[in-house]
Amino acid sequence: MGRVADVELRNVSKVFDNAVVAVDGVSLEIEPGEFFSLLGPSGCGKTTTLRMIAGFEMPTSGEIYIEGRPMGETPPFRRNVNTVFQNYALFPHMTVADNVAFGLRMKRVPRDEITRRVREALQLVRLVGFEDRYPRQLSGGQQQRVALARALINRPRVLLLDEPLGALDLKLRKEMQLELKHLQMTVGITFIYVTHDQEEALTMSDRIAVMNAGRVLQVGTPLEIYERPSNRFVADFIGESNFLDGRVVELNGQRATVLVDDRLPVPARVQDGLAVGEQVTIAIRPEKIRLHPTGGEGAEGCVPGRVEEVVYIGTDTYYLVRLTDCCTIRVRVQNSQNRLDSGEMVGEGTEVLLSWLPETAMVLKA
Amino acid sequence: MSTTATTAPRTAPLATRRRWRLKPGWLVLNSNVLLTFLFLYAPIVILVIFSFNASRQQAVWVGFTVEWYEQMMRDERVIAAAKNSLIIALVSTAVSTVIGTLTALALDRFRFRAKTAFEGAMYLPIIVPEIVMAISLLVFFNTTFNLLDRWLGLTLKFGLGTITIAHIAFSFPFVAVVVRARLADFDRTLEQAAQDLGANEWQTFRYVTLPLLMPGILAGALLAFTLSIDDFVITFFNAGIGATTLPLEIYGRIRRGITPEVNALSAVLLLASIALVLGSALLQRRR
Amino acid sequence: MALAEGVETQPQPPASLAARLTDWARRRTGIKLSLVLGPGAFWLLVFFLIPLGVVLAYSFASRGAYGQVIWRLTLENYTRFFDWLYIRVFLVSVWIALLTTVICLVIGYPFAFVMARVPRRWRNALLVLVMVPFWTNFLVRTYAIMLLLRNEGLINSALRWLGVIEQPITMLFTTFAVVLGLVYGYLPFMILPLYASIEKFDFTLVEAAQDLGASTWQVFTRVLLPLTMPGVVAGSILVFIPSVGAFVTPDLLGGGKVVMIGNLIQQQFLTVRHWPFGSAVSFVLMAVVLVSTMAYFRVGGERRV
């Protein structure tokens, strides 16, 4: 590859004293300048992974490399990484300026350089004029930006962010997502971002590692993660999916047919190594399914069903459709292309046909 | 001995409050409060008032005078005792604050064998009756001094040294308890943040942990100072001949008979400690 | 971490550089721990535990003709305590301490209740007012009571002036005086834990009980009192312990007429110079105190600060 990864984890595990396996054999390579997210439900080991990179926890086994050097038991203050903590961890007894200057003071940087760089850092996060305030006098968003400035002023190779937007309200969070992404592109520092919010991860990241139960399940771009989840957990955790269990009965070019519940044939995408007779799970996103009235044209390859429940959620409408003699499926239809315009209401009890492009029905091996 | 009993405010619905307050029981309760405060403060106030009484016959108010205060300030025994009290209090406060803070840190930050036993032992000086601690130190110093005299020909005597050592022994656990309470609410991520920003362990302690612990340490120091300057029982048994503190001086005079000078001396001690406490309370509020 | 957690070093395969580094770090943690824990452990051991041990040893020794200690193992100091003379002192002390505790509770509970129910802005002021006596000199406060109670004191003078009495009532140097002095001295110890537990009490439970038909008295005995029991127990222990071991109060306000364990110990050490017996009495007192403390933790009282 030529370039050395900024951060590399080789088979890293962490077992806590109480025998809880927090991180289980994680290997990752994070490229310079990348916005990399660790995404997973709470307790999946993402924060522990971050804390091991920062040096707050030492791996039980495996090795962490930063800029190609093995970290071993290097303490946090000798690692060229900085952290933005979930609760910001601003020093309550110091002003904004003192907070931001802390790292440089610890490294005994000359005073006038500190003054200059504090100014720059505060400009970067648009907090000039707040130098003499104390953290408790700032709003959550402002505290967040102080925490960023305090970390970035040290010009770390990698910035670690532990759910930094978790404490903010929804609107501010959306604003800060964009601001963070901009900031990352401006400073060009590698960001490793821990979050349990899939939307946040999809919006901001160059690449995402989805974690569960201490393991990395899939690493990829947001598009790959969303469109090509490699397993059921990822398909379920990122976005929504309908899952249908069945057996492959036919392979035909790009199109496979899976017999669900031994009676309902449905189309699905063909994938390497798939064989007839194999037990698989099909995952279909609700928004990739189309609803048709019965009896119309194009009934071939469609799956019949009956609408059981209609849930209107503003931009879209959810339909809970019971497939004939089988399971139920959620369908999400945008309201712009929905009923009222065409004058047709799909109500509860309506018989419908469902269709989807075979390549949108992902086949997950059991 | 918590200085503050802060719990989350829980204001009951107005209805409950009003109903409970309108009952005639509230009158009884409120008079209980008034009488209790009267009980707590009347003796002290009367003592202070009568320290300004011109009569030696104290029960009757004759006229205002500061004569007893003047006499007191001229009294060399009083001055010597005050000096001793202050020296002992300052030294024992300094030492017990350092030891107590370190002990609190050790208990909060380290895991070690016999930690539970150590903690239990540390609470003992707080629980054990003063008189028992007093005589045990008396016996210990006496025995040790005898042995040192016999084995090494080293002659040591009771005095300021023994008093100070004893004061440190009973006050450092109090400091440790106060500082530890502060450590219990300490946000450890602040220390991690400091380390993350390049502060080594000493710098983290110096610039983050210590400043944030300061209010607790000061409260502990104030407690140690008050305990030392007010202590009578333990000092009484470990003073030996010659070293007198203010409480010992007052006690000696009370035993010899009640005089207006004792009132003046008592009043000074009383007001000094009240001023100290209120002053520090105000100081803490301003922070 | 700053002053790192002691045993957090990781086990590593031996004979590698990492292993040596780990060992070094572990040794350093040991040094740090001894620096931080050392002074307190030293002081506690040398100036508290060892002295107690010496007293314990003395309590099994005998007294020589001139008051010196003779190292002959004996239980006679403890058996001697069962003489009616000393058992009486013991019973008087426990009785006085119990009386003090009950009186403090009767005064303190309603007081703490009001304190917990007044508007918040008054609460801290009341709290400070209760705390101030605790921070002032105990000896001086005992002396203040003396001034009031003696025959020429303010109370007797006032009563005589009012014509209620002709001869002064003897109040000083009585059990009454001692109990009054102890209540005066330790009332804050009762009020503070009571206040803490009543303040935490959820007063909507009162409404719930009333709604279910409970009278005010029933609300108190069935709801408020059981739920504030930890405060009652803590306050009682905090008053009982110093009262049972009191020395200054019976000495000044009892004037030799009311003798408590504390006075007995003092006599044995300073007047009679029977150190072994004094030591035994001290350990009996310690036992009383420790048993009541343990009872407190058994009842599961709140953590005292």
Same domain, B89 and B34: no
Mark which residues 20-79 of A lie under 8 Å from C by CB.
56, 58, 60, 72-73
CA–CA distance, A263 with A325 (Å, rounded to integer): 9
pTM, entire model: 0.81
Tokens at B44, concatenated: 């002290």
pLDDT of residue B76: 87
Residues in a beta bridge with C302: none
pLDDT of residue B72: 86
| A56, A60, A73: residue with CB nearest C22 | A73
- Using an 8 Å CB-CB cutoff, list chain B residues near A106: 194, 197-200, 203, 207
Residue in this structure with the two tokens 């009294």, named with its chain if needed: B75
**Residue B66: strand, helix, or coil:** coil
Mark which residues 208-247 of B lie under 8 Å from A by CB.
208, 211-212
Q: Is the four-CA dihedral C112, C116, C122, C128 of positive or negative sign?
A: positive
Same domain, B100 and B159: yes
Q: What are phi and psi of C145, to 5 degrees?
A: -65, -40
Confidence band of C46 (pLDDT split at 50, 70, 90): very high
Q: Is residue A62 within 8 Å of A9, Cβ to Cβ? A: yes
Query: Chain C: which residues have CB within 8 Å of chain A?
Result: 1, 10, 18, 21-22, 25
Length of chain C: 305
Q: Is B195 touching A (CB cutoff 8 A)?
A: yes
* Lowest pLDDT segment from A229-233, C11-15, C36-40, C297-301: C11-15
Q: Is residue B229 within 8 Å of B89, Cβ to Cβ? A: yes
Confidence band of C9 (pLDDT split at 50, 70, 90): very low
Residue A307 CB coordination number (10 Å)? 18
Under an 8 A CB cutoff, do B198 and A92 touch? no
User: What percent of chain A shows pLDDT beyond 70?
Assistant: 94
Question: For residue B7, is it left (φ>0), alpha (ψ between -120 and 50) or beta?
Answer: beta
- Residues spanned by the domain of B31: 3-50
Tokens at A63, concatenated: 């090795």
Same domain, B177 and B256: yes
Residue A81, H or E segment: strand A81-84
Rounded to the nearest angstrom, the gap between the alpha carbon of residue B86 and the centroid of all alpha carbons in its chain is 13
User: What percent of chain C shows pLDDT beyond 90?
Assistant: 38
Residue B57, in any domain of the structure:
no
Amino acid at B264: A
Same domain, B215 and B273: yes
Q: Is A335 touching C (CB cutoff 8 A)?
A: no
Q: Is B34 touching C (CB cutoff 8 A)?
A: no
Residues in a beta bridge with A207: A36
CATH T-level assignment (fold) for domain C76-299: MetI-like fold (1.10.3720)
pLDDT of residue B4: 41
Residue B124, in any domain of the structure:
yes
* Lowest pLDDT segment from A171-175, A274-278, B187-191, C134-138: A274-278
Confidence band of C4 (pLDDT split at 50, 70, 90): very low
Residue B60, in any domain of the structure:
no
Same domain, B251 and B189: yes
Give the burial class of B136: count Cβ atoms within 10 A of its Cβ; 0-12 exposed, 13-18 middle, 19 or more buried: buried
Same domain, B142 and B245: yes
pLDDT of residue A299: 52
Q: What are the tens digits of pLDDT across the range A346-360?
A: 778 888 888 888 888
pLDDT of residue A187: 87
Same domain, B280 and B195: yes
CATH number at residue B218: 1.10.3720.10
Residue B58, in any domain of the structure:
no
Same domain, B77 and B199: yes
Average pLDDT for chain C = 84
Confidence band of A3 (pLDDT split at 50, 70, 90): low
Q: Which chains touch B (3 or more CB pairs under 8 A)?
A: A, C
Q: What are the tens digits of pLDDT across the range C95-130?
A: 999 999 999 999 999 999 988 888 888 888 888 888
Same domain, B39 and B134: no
Q: What are the tens digits of pLDDT across the range A327-351?
A: 888 988 887 665 544 545 677 888 8
Residue in this structure with the two tokens 């931009």, named with its chain if needed: A315
Rounded to the nearest angstrom, the gap between the alpha carbon of residue B276 and the centroid of all alpha carbons in its chain is 11
Residue in this structure with the two tokens 């339909």, named with its chain if needed: A319
Q: Is A107 touching B (CB cutoff 8 A)?
A: yes
Residue in this structure with the two tokens 């930690």, named with its chain if needed: B115
Length of chain B: 287
Under an 8 A CB cutoff, do B57 and C152 touch? yes
CA–CA distance, B47 with B62 (Å, rounded to integer): 15
CA-derived radius of gyration, chain C: 26
Rounded to the nearest angstrom, the gap between the alpha carbon of residue C217 and the centroid of all alpha carbons in its chain is 31
For residue A34, pLDDT over 50 is answered with yes
Same domain, B16 and B121: no
DSSP output for A233-298 = HHHHHSS--EEEEEEEEEEETTEEEEEETTTEEEEEE--TT--TT-EEEEEE-GGG-EEEETTSS-
- Using an 8 Å CB-CB cutoff, list chain C residues near A56: 1
Under an 8 A CB cutoff, do B192 and A83 touch? yes
- Using an 8 Å CB-CB cutoff, list chain B residues near A83: 192-193, 196
Residue B62, in any domain of the structure:
no
Residue B150, in any domain of the structure:
yes
Q: If you measure CA to CA, which chain C residue comes closest to A57?
A: C8
Under an 8 A CB cutoff, do C10 and A72 touch? no
Same domain, B31 and B91: no
More confident residue, C46 or C230: C46
**Residue A353: strand, helix, or coil:** strand
- Using an 8 Å CB-CB cutoff, list chain C residues near B52: none
Residue B146, in any domain of the structure:
yes
For chain B, the domain total comes to 2
Give the burial class of B270: count Cβ atoms within 10 A of its Cβ; 0-12 exposed, 13-18 middle, 19 or more buried: buried
Under an 8 A CB cutoff, do B197 and A85 touch? no
Mark which residues 20-79 of B lie under 8 Å from A by CB.
none
Under an 8 A CB cutoff, do C25 and A73 touch? yes
Q: Is residue A150 within 8 Å of A100, Cβ to Cβ? A: yes
| A56, A60, A72: residue with CB nearest C18 | A72
Which ranges of B110-243 would DSSP assign to H, the alpha helix?
Answer: 115-127, 130-152, 160-184, 188-196, 201-204, 210-230, 233-238
Mark which residues 71-90 of A lie under 8 Å from B by CB.
75-77, 81-83, 85, 87, 89-90
Question: For residue B2, is it left (φ>0), alpha (ψ between -120 and 50) or beta?
Answer: beta
pLDDT of residue C5: 39
- Spell out, as residue ranges, where chain B has pLDDT lower than 50: 1-22
pLDDT of residue A231: 86
Average pLDDT for chain A = 86
Under an 8 A CB cutoff, do A89 and B199 touch? no
Q: Which chains touch C (3 or more CB pairs under 8 A)?
A: A, B
Amino acid at A309: E
Q: Is residue A290 within 8 Å of A296, Cβ to Cβ? A: no
CA–CA distance, C97 with C91 (Å, rounded to integer): 10
Q: If you measure CA to CA, which chain C residue comes closest to B4?
A: C127
* Lowest pLDDT segment from A273-277, A296-300, C68-72: A296-300
Same domain, B75 and B32: no
> Vertex C33, ends C32 and C38: CA angle to 5°?
110
Tokens at C67, concatenated: 């008051």
More confident residue, A164 or C28: A164
Q: What are the tens digits of pLDDT across the range A135-160?
A: 999 998 899 999 999 999 998 989 99
Residue C72 CB coordination number (10 Å)? 11
Tokens at C248, concatenated: 């200054």
Tokens at B155, concatenated: 């002659």
More confident residue, B199 or A263: B199
